[in-house]
Structure 1
Amino acid sequence: MKKHVVIFEVRGGSDKGAYGYRSDSKPIIDSLNKRGWSAEIIFYSDEARGEIYRYVVDKAGAYISRVNPGNLADETGYFQMLRELVSQNVEALPHPDAMINYGAKNAIEKLKGTDLVPDDVITYYDFEAFKASFPLMLKTGPRVLKQNRGSTGEGIWKVEIAKKVEDDKGNLTLKTKVKLTEAKDNHIEEKYLGDFIDFCVTYLDGPSGLLLDMPFLPRIKEGEIRVFMLRREPVYVVHKKPVETADAFSATLFSGAKYTYENPDQYPTLISKVKTNLNTILEKLGGYDIPLIWTLDFILDNDENGEDKYILGEINASCVGFSTHLDLSEQIADEVIRLMEADCVINPRWPAYTS
């Protein structure tokens, strides 16, 4: 068993510290070193893909991906390299297809039929379907549209009717005025519905282009509740409260939201819901091994009896940060080693199996 771990990063982006790498990557290296393992950060680039691949196959027993795909001009080469590493028996933390299936916005629609998400969630993959269906969904009430790419709230829009214009059948026309609030910074725009639909075409471009359409939940004003997971274990909860302005709904730090870090024990109902649904989430999102570090973001709503219920709005699994809790690197290192040693016992590619 190779006791060496490669942590993949990419240059650039807003998640880097003073030395050019993520501030929460180096602590993982230090924690692995304390346990007699070695680790290093490698910055991925398409130009160096072949060289990186050969080096990792030769040196590493596992990789940890800490790359935000949004910081890559095209993530195709990166994910393909990771798949090739998996085929060469390098342990995937996580598997590239798990990153895609968990992190893509349509993961929410795939979970329809569970008590995690509303029934009126829909994903659009092409312009004509979006143009036909979105006005019908908007007539039911304010909606939230989420692009598949981007981060920090970019391309996430609250859409509500500002001035309704209907045809003789009572359908919204493209001349309806809509009020738009973007989660990136809570700025407001007004457009004709037709112009906004045309504007959104860019979100549908490319192989990973899509738009998730879900109902706006007014209780987002009380805060989004993020459950930070280390594989199957909830580690802490982040209560992300938007700024106190009339139209603000964004729970990102960039928009001014305030974050409070809390113990999972303070949310027994929510944590029970997460644990009860873990196997269902795994099954519906492709059956891949559960990611090493991932999060589930919930918003409060009310059930038919007026009681609180938690609605899942998003899953993150590609480059979840923990810079406010760097001591988690100790638990992360323990989990990486546990996974590798368990694989050593049961997998015939390791010498321990035949000794």
Structure 2
Amino acid sequence: MDTEPHTFLRSEHRRSRIAILWRGDAAARREATPQNSRFVRVFEALDAAGIEALPVVYDETFADLVRDQLLTMDGVLVWVDPIHQGKTRAALDALLRGVAAKRPWVSAHPDVILKIGVKEVLHRTRHLGWGADTHRYATADAFRAEFPPRLRAAGPRVLKQNRGNGGQGVWKVEALPDATVRVLHALRGSQPEELPLEAFMARCELYFGWGGCIIDQPFQLRLPEGMIRCYISGSKVAGFGHQLIKALIPPPPEGPDSPQAQPGPRIMHGPDAPQFQALRRLMEDEWIPQLMETLAIDEASLPVIWDADFLYGPRDADGADTYVLCEINASSCFAIPDEAPAAIARTVRDRIARNVQSDTSG
């Protein structure tokens, strides 16, 4: 029997143990294996790197069991959306903070998510080259006072609740005569709706609850050209995905549930894809270092897998593409390119080695 089950790796005789955590019910927890998980390629990459990875299914109803299990691990990789079937991450984030304070490192740590995995990052980093005319409304009063004149003066805007996924709480807003607006929710299946601006803003006030603020960006006219998802492991680009999205684009006459209204497939590419090398250089050489400096995040705290979603901005004077950041996903970045599991394993291995070195030198 292992007489020190809660100690870090002290020699090469025991493989490091990493939990891969996702949300599910009691049956999913009982039945979970690396092979029947959607993260099977991540399990395989970690195993090939000499790291033992174990599936851990979480739900609030058996949170104590999960906590006890995580405390036997050397690290925890988390894939849980901010909002899932009406449940938030509030209880899970508290659990992960407690676990991380006692022993294993957690990726992504809830405090890191609150810096990069919320829409507020668009405002805090608006001065970077990926920024736009971005505003933050901290209170309902500020929203009611500042948004109407900005909408009238600046053209169509996109409002985003601070924490969400799947298009929840993301709206395109266009001003119409007589203090009315046309709005379109980014949630799949949505239809344009016309209503008084005041009524729409009242609908948005719930976003000042758990999310805490509303972010306001200009609508990007090149949206129909698609979204580029840049996948990052630590501070290095691990691949790209390009998708012709339909969110915030009015549905065709066939309706929002028709095949014509569905987004195209996300075409995955490795980190060396030629068409994305300009974006890769910007990310690795400029924007990620500037993000870390702006938000006071060290490299070891960056998630082992995260992504930055870009829309095409206006072309520059030379006709080259520019990129506008529209979201960072750090809570549950999946699916991922084929090259990403190996990148995750390298990042995990490096962090284990750093932690072992720190532990033994301390």
Runs of 4+ deviating beyond 4 Å: 18-23, 243-246
User: Which residue type is aligned with residue 197 of structure 1?
Assistant: M
Aligned to 2:165: 151
Aligned to 2:73: 60
User: Which residue type is aligned with residue 204 of structure 1?
Assistant: F
Aligned to 2:293: 283
Aligned to 2:267: 260
Q: 2:241 aligned with 1:235, yes or no?
A: no
| Counterpart selection for 1:87 from 92, 101, 109 | 101
Aligned to 1:201: 205
- Verify the 8 A CA contact 1:61 1:90 in the aligned structure 2: yes
Give secondary structure in 2 for the equivalent of 1:40.
strand
Unaligned runs of 5+ in 2: 1-7, 10-15, 26-30
In structure 2, relative to structure 1, the CA distance for the partners of 1:87 and 1:244 (3 Å cut) is closer
Pairwise CA distance, 1:245? 11
Give secondary structure in 2 for the equivalent of 1:214.
strand
Aligned to 1:169: none
RMSD: 2.9
The 5 A counterparts of 1:132-171 are 132-139=145-152, 140-162=154-176, 164-165=177-178
- Verify the 8 A CA contact 1:184 1:255 in the aligned structure 2: no
| Count of aligned pairs | 329
Q: 2:134 aligned with 1:121, yes or no?
A: yes
Pairwise CA distance, 1:20? 10
Unaligned runs of 5+ in 1: 13-17, 166-175
User: Which residue type is aligned with residue 293 of structure 2?
Assistant: E
- Verify the 8 A CA contact 2:185 2:248 in the aligned structure 1: no
User: Which residue type is aligned with residue 232 of structure 1?
Assistant: S
In 1, the alpha carbon distance for the partners of 2:247 and 2:111 equals 38
**TM value normalised by structure 1:** 0.83
Residues 233-277 of structure 1 deviation map (CA, whole Å, 9 limit, x = unaligned):
212221111359973599xx9962212223443222212211211
- Verify the 8 A CA contact 1:322 1:328 in the aligned structure 2: no
In 2, the alpha carbon distance for the partners of 1:278 and 1:142 equals 29
In structure 2, relative to structure 1, the CA distance for the partners of 1:37 and 1:191 (3 Å cut) is same
Residues 257-316 of structure 1 deviation map (CA, whole Å, 9 limit, x = unaligned):
212223443222212211211111112234242111011111112256373311111111
In 2, the alpha carbon distance for the partners of 1:126 and 1:317 equals 25
Residues 189-246 of structure 1 deviation map (CA, whole Å, 9 limit, x = unaligned):
111101101111122223x332111000111111111111122221222111135997
User: Which residue type is aligned with residue 60 of structure 2?
Assistant: D
In structure 2, relative to structure 1, the CA distance for the partners of 1:231 and 1:255 (3 Å cut) is farther
Give secondary structure in 2 for the equivalent of 1:68.
coil
Aligned to 2:330: 317
Give secondary structure in 2 for the equivalent of 1:267.
helix
Residues 42-61 of structure 1 deviation map (CA, whole Å, 9 limit, x = unaligned):
1223343333223322x210
